[in-house]
Each structure stands twice: as structure tokens, then as C-alpha cells.
Chain A
């Protein structure tokens, strides 16, 4: 697989299918793993870094579940390519910043991605469309077992998998669910919900991962605790919490429609109008308007636009994607124009 092949491909998690896909965009699990005896990436010297890359490349090539993956060394990628992978949620911003002895292993469906020598030797990630965290666990658990046959993972019976940062020790697992909660935001209930989430040891992030502000009514909710609970318990807890949030968002949607359905319908269609006609649009405005269109589509106010197209627009309107499509570097203003053009083309009915 070549990196550019991904451009014409919809990531698994953007398909807009799967359970509760009106409110839940995607479900994702990642596992942090390290090799025994080797220094963690931040503490390893060049020789160790290279050795780890080699061992992991070797192990992944032997694993049946990773047959359709491609291993990209970050030192071989252009800056733009790295940003492109970050925008597709296939690797972290941190991983893209430093290139020494780092790699990312991706499968053609973009379900699986493995970052090598990020904060830990291995960061395995599995993504699924919709509310499908159990399936993500099934897949990642098998990959993990498969890798454990080839690689001696750093592990203690008392403390589980050992990670560079003690906040990940134990299962090394983080389960995240990306939610679209426009009605909770519009009815001003979101702060109450987020406060409750943080009390339950879960964290909330924005659409574009760690350190980003929630924008366009997207919230990514993940477990914080990784020690003292089994993987299944963590997943059950996430599941229970997300069910409740979905329920609350649904109630808020009903309330919004009941109270002032016409106002909502007006806002949805105005948003669509701008997207269909704008000639210059920045990413912040795009995300906000797309969020309204997505809500309108969920509520049946907009019938002729596939959710998959809306989901895709969130991704392809980001800076690196625009530049990959154009195959050249674009200034901020050029991007705003190209963005508007792509949106118009995709929304043309």
C-alpha cells in the first residue's frame, strides 16, 4: 500500500455505520506495550531504537492478523504525509513531531494502526465505526496475543504491562468513544454531563485528539484508570457510561424538536446553505456547520445527503488533506478557498 492510496479511501471509522452511528462516530481501543529489558523510547539510544524497530517489524510480519499492513518509517515520510496520518487519526501529533527510529504500521482498511517508538515501544490501536467498542476489543485482543507470541513484553504480575508513564500501567489500555452531542450543547446541559464524566475518572477531548478543544460538538470520551480493573471491566464501564450519554443526547434532541423545531430546522438549513455556497471558509466554521448538517441528517430534516459524505468532509477539509489532494503546499487563504470548493462539490446533489 502507498500512503496516497488512502486519499481515495474512506476510513473504517468514517463509514457512518454501526450501532448508534447517529450519535457515536467511532469506537477505538489502544494498548501500550513495551519490550523487556529495552529502554523506553525517550530513554533509548540510537542502537536500541533501531533494534526495537527491527524486532517489531519482524514480529508484525509474522502475525496473521497484520497480513494487510504496511510499515512506514517516519524518517521516510514528508512532513505533509505525517500531518495527513494525524488527521486520519492513524497516529498522534507527538509521534509526527520527532522522526528518529519511529514507524507507523497501518492496515489497508485503516482499522489497525501501530505506532512504534512513540511514548511506548508499541501503541496498538483498533478503530471501529459507530458504537462498537466490544468488536474493537475482540480485534485488538487477538493482535495483542499474536504479538505476545513473538515479543517478550515487559510485565509484572502485580502491575500488569509496564509503560513509560505510570498513568498507563496495568492493562495499558485506553478505550475511547467519539460522540456528536449537538443537542446537549444547544440545551446547555453539556457542562453538567462533562462534569459527571470527569468525576467517574473518564476524560473528555476534542475531535482531533489530545490537547484539543472540543469543537463542532464532538467529544471523545476515554477511561483514565488502567490499573485495578480488567480490560472487560473497563470496557463495560465505558459502555455503561456511553449508553447513558446517548440516552441524554436523544432526550435533548426530542426536547429541542418539541420546543422549537422550526428554529432548529432553520439553523440546519442555513448551515447547509452556507456550506453549499461559500467560496472561502476556514476549518473552524466548517466543523461547526457540518455538525449542524449532521444533526439535520440524523433528525431526517436533510434527506438527500449521506452521513458518510458528511463524515468524510470533516476529514478531507483539514489542512494536510487539502494539500495532499492538490499535491502542493497551500497558504491558509488558498486552503480556505480549496476547502470551500471541495465542500461544494461533495454536497452537490
Chain B
């Protein structure tokens, strides 16, 4: 079978395309397939999907966000919307307000519960670690050492601390509203 696009080379790649519910089969040679796949990426990439997710309910908020620029890597919020990728770790701080609802939509949560890089040499990551983080790291260690009683105790402490933090946040929000 010859390639559907160039009609010269043997078709070795078989592609099924769905456009507006219409299924279309293409048989392509390697060179044409490569080109086609690059085209398709441009047509519809993850960035469109993410940008859609990040759309704002209020147009004013969007205007405000688009002007924001990360002081570390100079990526603007408009760049992020266009390419669907952030520029550096600091972007998460710069665009925090707008990323929180996006993360919630993607993951169904905006709170990390996994491990943390506690042992960094530079200590840069340590700056941001509060009581809760300290407890989590102790828990991780207890689990590693198989000290399960200690782990259970720490887990309860963490739950309590999380609840407190949550209550504080709601209180703050309530205050802001009044």
C-alpha cells in the first residue's frame, strides 16, 4: 500500500483520525507520518485543554492575570495560557491565586499529601516547612523505621493540625468577606 499523502513510499503507519464524529483512516509512510503528527500537535495540544480549564468566570480577573509576570523566569500568565506550561517553580508562587482553582479542577484537590524533599543540602526548601511539614516528615521516618505506634500517634497529630489550619483559613476567609 502506498502512502495516502505523497503516493510514493510504502505506507507503514496507520492512523485513525476522528473529526466531528467522522472517522477517517490514513495510511502513511514514515516521513509523511512524522509531518502529520507535528501538525496534529499544533492543532490541538494539551495547552488548549489547560487554557480552557483556566478560563475565568469574570473577564476582569482575566485581564488582571494576563499582565502578571514571574520575576524569576519572566514568563507571563498570557504565555502560560498559550503554551500550557509554567516557566519555573517560582511561577507557582507568582500565579498562585489563579493556579489554585486550576489544580483543583485537574486533581480534585489543591493540597499536597505526599513526601517532601526534607534533606536538601541548601536548605532552600526548608524555609517553607511549617509544623505540619515537620510532622509529616517524622511520620515518613517512623514508617520507614517501621515504628507503627509512633506513626499512628503522628498521623493523629497531623490530622488535628490540618483541621486547625483549615479552620484558620475559613476564619480568615470569613473575615475578608465582612
Contacts and interface: CB of A to CB of B under 8 A. Distances in A.
B52 to A, nearest CB: 13
Q: Which of A42, A149, A167 gathers most chain B CB within 10 Å?
A: A167
Interface stretch (B58-66, B110-118, B170-178): B110-118
> Which of A171, A228, A333 is packed against the most chain B CB atoms within 10 Å?
A228
Given A145-B119, A155-B117, A227 B124 contact: no
B109 A228 contact: yes
Interface stretch (A33-41, A248-256, A263-271, A302-310): A33-41
Given A40-B86, A43-B85, A157-B130, A149 B115 contact: no
Nearest to B112: A160
B119 A149 contact: yes
A25 interface: no
Given A153-B120, A156-B92, A165-B46, A43 B87 contact: yes
A199 to B, nearest CB: 13
A158 B103 CA distance: 11
Interface string B13-51: 010100000000000001000000000000000100010
Nearest to A35: B89
B55 to A, nearest CB: 14
Contact of A150 (B10, B99, B106, B121): B121
A34 B73 CA distance: 14
- Give the interface residue-count category, chain A: 35 or more
Interface string B71-84: 01101000000011
A166 B80 CA distance: 11
B128 interface: yes
Interface in B92-114: 92-93, 99, 102-103, 106-114
B125 interface: yes
A153 B114 CA distance: 14
A38 B121 contact: no
B129 interface: yes
Nearest to A119: B85
B88 interface: yes
Nearest to A150: B121
Contacts of B109: 225, 227-229
B50 A42 contact: no
Nearest to B116: A155
A226 interface: yes
Contacts of A349: none
Contacts of A119: 85
A231 B85 contact: no
B10 A158 contact: no
Q: Interface size for chain B: under 10, 10 to 19, 20 to 34, or 35 or more residues?
A: 35 or more
B124 A152 contact: yes
A260 interface: no
A227 B110 contact: yes
Given A149-B121, A152-B121, A228-B113, A37 B108 contact: no
B81 to A, nearest CB: 12
A327 interface: no
Nearest to A59: B121
A173 B16 contact: no
B150 interface: no
B88 A39 contact: yes
Contact of B124 (A36, A150, A228, A229): A36
A224 B16 CA distance: 24
Given A152-B121, A173-B114, A228-B111, A34 B89 contact: yes
Interface of A: 34, 36-40, 42-43, 119, 141, 144-145, 148-162, 164-167, 169-171, 173, 201, 213, 225-231, 233, 282, 284, 331-333
13 contacts: A37-B88, A37-B90, A40-B85, A152-B120, A155-B89, A159-B110, A160-B114, A161-B114, A162-B92, A166-B50, A166-B102, A213-B16, A227-B109
Interface of B: 10, 12, 14, 16, 30, 46, 50, 72-73, 75, 83-90, 92-93, 99, 102-103, 106-122, 124-125, 128-130, 132-133
A-B complex: 9 closest residue pairs judged by Cβ atoms: A228-B109, A154-B89, A160-B112, A227-B107, A171-B114, A148-B117, A43-B87, A162-B89, A153-B117
